[in-house]
Every structure is written in structure tokens, then in C-alpha cells.
A and B are shown apart, each in its own frame.
Chain A
């Protein structure tokens, strides 16, 4: 969490309100609405179909997947476990079973390959909530935002891993809004919807991209898996950039774009080589001159 690296020192660009509200207009005009929302739609399909797979059992009796994101069994054969949750259990002094361990390794391998924070933008249900808050924030032109360090999430990540050995309990899973929302949808919400609303309101009125971009230790854990991932977004056509700033407006982690997009003079690679890029592809959608592309590292 060094602050004074060159990449981090480049400030998030301030974008005027009107520009922010109109972000994506040019892309829609040029590529059509579908073309300008391609990856967003695919992500929503991914997030919702994962939920649907888990819900198919309890709702319609079609048992393809059992369990929830913490641990699941697909077609009675393929175990998948959340490595972050498993790590917390491990830290509290509990060894998982063989199936649990294999499941965690499979998921770990997957995210090492495609980029850890693909979890955030393609799987996590909270992402839908915070994206909605971000969209509404832009449309309402809300500029007020309490600033706190983006590194806070790594402090919280450390905290969630230190608490289990101290208390002997998986403390974070009592609070974790990510597992709370996913489990709530599949097994019953109780009062959990209040937490989801709280996150929405927090992101909307208190802090811009506050939850996913600053606080969430789940995202922080998965970002650590992205260091050498193969799938990356790259600003391959960065010489085409017309400085419209739309990508900065929609990006959930805007500071990851600048070095790749504007680093040609400093000899920086056009590859977005930042662990906190979520591979959401919104920059690809929103750019009317097609600067960005998904590439292999």
C-alpha cells in the first residue's frame, strides 16, 4: 500500500457535472445502445444467471447447484468454495475437508487466471447495488463525497484475517454484506435487505464508490489474485483517445486507467496492469473511438 508510487500519484481527474451526466452519449450515438452496453449486459446476465442457478433448486426443484457462494456443489460432483471464506476458517484454526479444499483451489486458480476482481464485477450481487448507486449519483449530479483512503479495504482485509485467530470465530461472515446478500436471496433475507439499502445509500449520498472501491475486504482479497492474471483490459488504441473522459466517469476504479491511457510519453504499457481493475469492460463499452480491448497479458 505504498502511496507515493508514480501510478498512485496521478490524481483522479475531476469531471464537470454536465459531462458526467452525459457520459456515454457519444458511444450510444456511434455504436448504438446495445453496442455501448455490451459488457454491462453480459455482466448482468452473468450475475443474475449465477443467482438463478442457485435459486433453480429451491424455487423449481431443478438442482444444478446447491449451497451458496461460500461453498457449493454443482451437479453433485464439482465442489467450489470461496477461498477468502475458507482462509478465514483456516485462520480460526479449522481445516476444511478435502472437497472444501479442492473447491477453494479450483476457484483460486480461476481467479488467478482471469483476474481476481472479476469476482466483483461478474459474480458479486452487491456490485449491482453499488453500480445502481453510482449511476444515480451521476444522473443526480451529486458531487459531495466523504473521502477516505482506498487502502482502507486492505486494513479491513487484514482485520478480517486477524480476528479469527483472536476470537476463534469467523467474525467477518457475521457482517459480510456480500455473502449476506447472496445467502439472503437464496436462503431467506430476514433483515438483511436493510444492509443492502444501507450500502446503496452510503454509495449514493455519503461516499462515491465507497463500498466496492474503498471498504470491501472481499474485493481487497480478490484484488491480490490479479497480479499476474492473463485476462486484462488494454488501451491498445490510446493514440485515438479524444479526451472525452467518459471512461473515467464510469470506471469503478478510475485511477487504474490513467497510467495505461496517458502513459505513452513515460513509456508505460497500454495494459491496465493494476490489481484493482475489475475487468468489468465498462471503459470498452463507453469509448466511442474503441480505445480499449480485452487482451491477454
Chain B
């Protein structure tokens, strides 16, 4: 704020001092308002931008223990201590120009996934709890959730044996299991489908890294993108039954099959079974209906 009072003020008369004072006051108020407006506008711009950058791209994965994004942006001071303490050097701080909140730590699963150190050195190094120190078992980390997102390309869905994602999973058997399904294309084979379970998946990204496709079919996504949530009012009968120890509605009636004597049918196991004496000389059924026709023809020819 420039000030017109120089040396020699002392010679000024009373009235001119007053005049000068009001002029200065006016100038002071004007300048103050100007600066306040400028600061306000700047704040508006910076504030809205800061909210915008909270919507990080889905491929950005925060280190283990990271607070949810809105809290993270209020806690991370971008010091890079987590980056330095990662023994596998897979974390980086976002540089200016990257589509990630400037200076914050992240990793890309397809490049270098989290190795899930038992002592979680990255979170331990954080001076602000942006990576929560409350996380003390790495298996409890939820960096994201692996989703087998492209079932058209995943070769397991083509009936091929792969299971690489299952085999590299650090929480193998809990986070990813292999479920057998009927292969309808061949009619007689099984498909071994990897299935991710959100109660155990840490989002480390090893499966995404290991996926043998040119572009991974299994990807780690942010929790809020990957997860749905069933309405709280839903009650599933079978779950309620387990909790209560008995059926809460009229007990199930066991299904009756109308079958010839001695023949049984178990929906869950084995399907149709003939009496033991018939079973002994029965021809095994083929899944190919043509086989049955062929057999009939053979019998006729005889």
C-alpha cells in the first residue's frame, strides 16, 4: 500500500491532515476490497479444482491403509515417505500433469502391484495417518477390489485352463477361488472360472499384473466402483434360517419325484440313479444324444 505521507508531514495544517486521512481511508478500503475480492476468486478456483481432482481415475490405487479419497486429500501432505519406505519401489508421487491429485502416492497394478509386506512399512512411515496406522494386518487392507471384468476375453470362459490369477493371489483360496461350471460349448467339459470374494480380496493387484491377456481381464477397481449394496430391508430366508436355527416360515416340504420303484433322483449329487441290479449292466449314458440314437439303431439291427 503506497503511502503519500513523506518527510515534511509535520508542516501540514489540521484540515489537510484530515483530508489526507479520509483519502487514505478511502484508498485503504478500496485496496483491501480489491485484494479480498482477488483472494476470494482465487479461493473459489482453487477450492473447486481441489474437489475435482478427488475423482481419481479407476486405475489409480492408493497404498494400503489409505483413507477414503475425500479424507485422503485432507490428510496426505505429499511428503513421499511411503514411497521411500516401500521395499519394492512400486509407489510413486503423482507429478504435475498426471491425472492424479498432484504429489499424492499411488501405484498401477498392471505395472507393479503391492507385494503385501507383513509389517506394512509404507503405512508405518506416514506422518499424518493418511495411510492409517490402525491397519496392522495387511490382509485387512482394502486398496480396491479385483473384478473379473471382461468375461468375453478371459480364456477361462472359453473353457481353457489358465487360473494364473488364482495361482498368484496372496490370499489364495479366500480372495480368489476356482468354481467349476458346465462348458456348454463342448457339452462335456468343465470351465474353471476364477471368482473373487470381496471379504478377502485386498486389492493388491497381483492378479491384474499376472493376467496373461494383452489387456488384463481381471482388474482392481476402487471399492465404490466395484461393489453394489443390497437394500437393508432385504431378508434372505436361508440366511435367517441359519441365524435362527429354524425356518421362519412354513418348513420346506421335501420334493417328491414321481419315479419307478428303486429309482432315485438327487438334484445335488449324481442325478438319476437306478437300482443296484440294473446299474450293474447299464450302459453309461453319453452326453451326446446321437450316441443314444446310435445305440438304438444297433439294437434294432441285432
B partners with A:
yes
Complex CA–CA separation, A79 to B125 (angstroms): 10
Complex CA–CA separation, A186 to B133 (angstroms): 26
Contact between chains at A67 and B79 (CB < 8 Å): yes
Give, as a whole number of angstroms, the nearest-CB distance from A83 to chain B.
11
Confirm or deny: A123 has a beta carbon within 8 angstroms of a beta carbon on chain B: no
Confirm or deny: B226 has a beta carbon within 8 angstroms of a beta carbon on chain A: no
Confirm or deny: B102 has a beta carbon within 8 angstroms of a beta carbon on chain A: yes
Q: Binary interface profile of A, 169-197, with partner B (CB < 8 Å = 1, else 0)?
A: 11111110001100110111111101100
Complex CA–CA separation, A79 to B77 (angstroms): 14
Contacts of A188 on B, CB cut-off 8 Å? 92-93, 95
Contact between chains at A11 and B77 (CB < 8 Å): no
Contact between chains at B79 and A190 (CB < 8 Å): no
Complex CA–CA separation, A168 to B72 (angstroms): 9
Confirm or deny: B159 has a beta carbon within 8 angstroms of a beta carbon on chain A: no
Complex CA–CA separation, A292 to B130 (angstroms): 46
Contact between chains at B96 and A73 (CB < 8 Å): no
Report the interface size class on chain A: 35 or more
25 A-B residue pairings within 8 Å (CB atoms): A8-B1, A11-B2, A66-B125, A68-B79, A70-B79, A71-B81, A72-B79, A79-B127, A89-B75, A149-B31, A156-B42, A170-B74, A173-B102, A174-B49, A174-B101, A174-B102, A174-B103, A183-B80, A186-B80, A187-B83, A187-B92, A187-B95, A187-B103, A191-B95, A195-B96
Contact between chains at B1 and A67 (CB < 8 Å): no
Q: Which of A133-141, A157-165, A203-211 contacts B (4 or more CB under 8 A)?
A: A157-165
> From B3, which residue of chain A is reached at the shortest CB distance?
A9
Contact between chains at A170 and B77 (CB < 8 Å): yes
Given A97-B127, A168-B73, A169-B54, A191 and B47 contact (CB-CB distance below 8 Å): no
> From A195, which residue of chain B is reached at the shortest CB distance?
B96
Complex CA–CA separation, A3 to B4 (angstroms): 12
Contacts of B284 on A, CB cut-off 8 Å? none
Complex CA–CA separation, A96 to B2 (angstroms): 42
Q: Footprint of A on B, CB under 8 Å? A: 1-3, 5-6, 24, 28, 31, 35-36, 38-39, 42-43, 46-47, 49-51, 53-54, 70-71, 73-81, 83-85, 92-98, 101-103, 125-130, 133
Q: Footprint of B on A, CB under 8 Å? A: 3-4, 8-9, 11, 57, 63, 66-68, 70-73, 79, 81-82, 85-86, 88-89, 92-97, 99-100, 103, 147-152, 155-156, 158-159, 162-164, 166-175, 179-180, 183-184, 186-192, 194-195
> From B98, which residue of chain A is reached at the shortest CB distance?
A190
Contact between chains at A70 and B78 (CB < 8 Å): yes
Partner of B71 from A94, A180, A192, A194 at Cβ < 8 Å: A94
Contact between chains at B43 and A163 (CB < 8 Å): yes
Contact between chains at A168 and B70 (CB < 8 Å): yes
Contacts of B77 on A, CB cut-off 8 Å? 70-71, 81-82, 85-86, 88-89, 170, 173
Give, as a whole number of angstroms, the nearest-CB distance from A51 to chain B.
14
> From B125, which residue of chain A is reached at the shortest CB distance?
A73
Contact between chains at B79 and A94 (CB < 8 Å): no
Give, as a whole number of angstroms, the nearest-CB distance from A238 to chain B.
18
Contact between chains at A93 and B43 (CB < 8 Å): no
